[in-house]
């Protein structure tokens, strides 16, 4: 875990690479550091989504609730990866669950403030939407593949 300014940490994250300095400054101004305990749930499926996160240390697992039994881990996220896009898309409810799998630190962004800036500053909004669209596509592919691996019916090729 580091004490570097949030703006410096954002520059290292691939999702934010190439954003103008004023965009990074805006994001940093609407963020705070949050420390997570091992096994701490960051958010639950169905809860209101008004934040997104940059993992800065440790690991966070993205999970889907099973019909019965324990949640199914879909993807393990490590440092410099971004968690969460539900803050961006109505109805602003989490589609998955996230849990720290080790003591971790994340930067928590105020999704409502960022969304308001996206609406009032189309250049910023478009740049962020392109980045999050790529992230969504990757995560949904991981989720699909993991669920097929785990829940493949007998005889399914």
Task: For each of the domains in the chain, give its residue range(s) and CATH number, in order of start.
Answer: 6-146 (2.60.120.10)
What pTM value is reported for the model? 0.87
User: Which positions ≥6 away from 60 have C-beta within 8 Å?
Assistant: 36, 42, 53, 76, 77, 83, 98, 99, 100, 101, 104, 106
Mind listing the pLDDT tens digit for each residue in 23-32? 999 999 999 9
> In this predicted structure, what is the pLDDT of residue 52?
97
Q: Which residues of the chain have pLDDT under 50?
A: 1
What are the distances in angstroms from CA 73 to CA 62, 63, 77? Answer: 6, 4, 11
């Amino acid at each position: 875990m580091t004490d570097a300014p949030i703006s410096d940490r954002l520059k290292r994250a691939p999702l934010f690479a190439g954003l103008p300095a004023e965009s990074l400054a805006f994001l940093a101004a609407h963020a705070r550091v949050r420390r997570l305990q091992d096994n701490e749930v960051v958010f639950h499926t169905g809860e209101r989504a008004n934040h997104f996160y940059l993992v800065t240390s440790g690991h966070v697992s993205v999970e889907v609730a099973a019909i019965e039994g324990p949640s199914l881990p879909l993807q393990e996220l490590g440092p410099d990866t971004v968690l969460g896009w539900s803050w961006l898309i109505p109805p602003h409810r989490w589609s998955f669950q996230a849990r720290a799998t080790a003591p971790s630190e994340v930067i928590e962004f105020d999704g409502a403030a960022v969304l308001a800036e996206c609406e009032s500053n189309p250049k910023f909004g478009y740049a962020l939407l392109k980045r999050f669209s790529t992230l969504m596509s990757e995560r949904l592919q991981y989720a699909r593949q993991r669920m097929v691996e785990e829940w493949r019916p007998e005889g399914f090729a």
